[in-house]
Amino acid sequence: MRRRAPFSPRRRALLALLVLVLAWLGWSWWTGMAITAGVKQAQMDWDGDGLTSRAELWQAVHAVRVEHTEDGSRKCQRFVWTRNDEVIRVDCRTELQPAP
């Protein structure tokens, strides 16, 4: 009886693709890309025209970084282009803490 290989070429390709996607996801999270920072689709309007296009969604994957800052109860998200660190927009909110 002939023994089969543990992974067929198709399974190896799928495994390699899965490893690449997970590596890219980890890199995106580590660098702070907008797609992994919990930014909603409506917030991805980088040009300010009121609509989020497919191009803007793609930019969230590779071209826009989110920097989080916190000053007391004020929390801000600064959206920055990765190529030149130009600020696109800053969203700030104040979160009140419950009384002790």
List all residues 6 or more positions away from 31 whose beta carbon is below 8 Å from its beta carbon.
65, 82
Alpha carbon of residue 13 to chain centroid:
25
Q: 40 pLDDT band (50/70/90 cuts)?
A: confident
User: Please, which pLDDT band fits residue 15 given cuts at 50, 70 and 90?
Assistant: very high
pLDDT at 78 over 80: yes
Q: What is the pTM of this model?
A: 0.73
